[in-house]
Amino acid sequence: MAQNNTWSAGQVLAQAEGSIGTTVRTAVANYYKGHDLDTAQAIRRADTDTEAGQLVTAIRQGRVTEVAMVAVSAALGVISGALAQKAVNNAAIKGVPAVAPLGVVPTVAGLALPISLSGRSMLAAGGLSYITGAALYRLLTAQPEAMP
């Protein structure tokens, strides 16, 4: 069976009446659902450069929840890095906190995995702040070594 891809005049008019806000919301929602083709077509169909720019800006800014999750990931990374360093009695290998290499794993994963930008940002921020937390704990609690 062949599909009918024609629109009636009423459907065309209803589509034309859509506001820019609806277009932006739909394009951004399609972007976050992984419908890249729909997003690209929405940007291409934009009537003006301003409208296309608004679509791209909305996508780049991310959602508030995603930005908050990156911040929470970074905060938890610092806390868990410090607690892990404390758990190993502030051990160090040539001055580097013993648990610091554990933060490299999520950092590299965040740089390499083919996942969303916010997911990659969360992994990288969490891993780097884990290393930072371990280093800060080491610096703030290290005992001065006795001179022989």
The enclosing H or E element of 46 equals: none
125 by Cβ neighbours in 10 Å (0-12 / 13-18 / 19+) ranks as buried
Listed by start position, the domains of the chain span 9-61, 64-141
Please give the pLDDT value at position 122. Answer: 93
CA 142, CA 137: separation in Å to the nearest integer?
A: 8
Do residues 136 and 112 lie in contact, with contact meaning Cβ atoms separated by under 8 Å?
no
Region 52-72: mean pLDDT is 82
User: For 77-102, what is the mean pLDDT?
Assistant: 94
What is this structure's pTM?
0.62
User: What digits encode the pLDDT tens for the residues 10-57?
Assistant: 565 555 555 556 666 676 666 666 566 777 777 788 888 888 888 877
Q: Which residue has the higher pLDDT, 144 or 69?
A: 69
Q: Would you state the structure tokens that stand for residue 100, as one six-digit string?
A: 């610091």
Which conformational region is residue 89 in: left (phi greater than 0), alpha (psi within -120 to 50 degrees), or beta? left
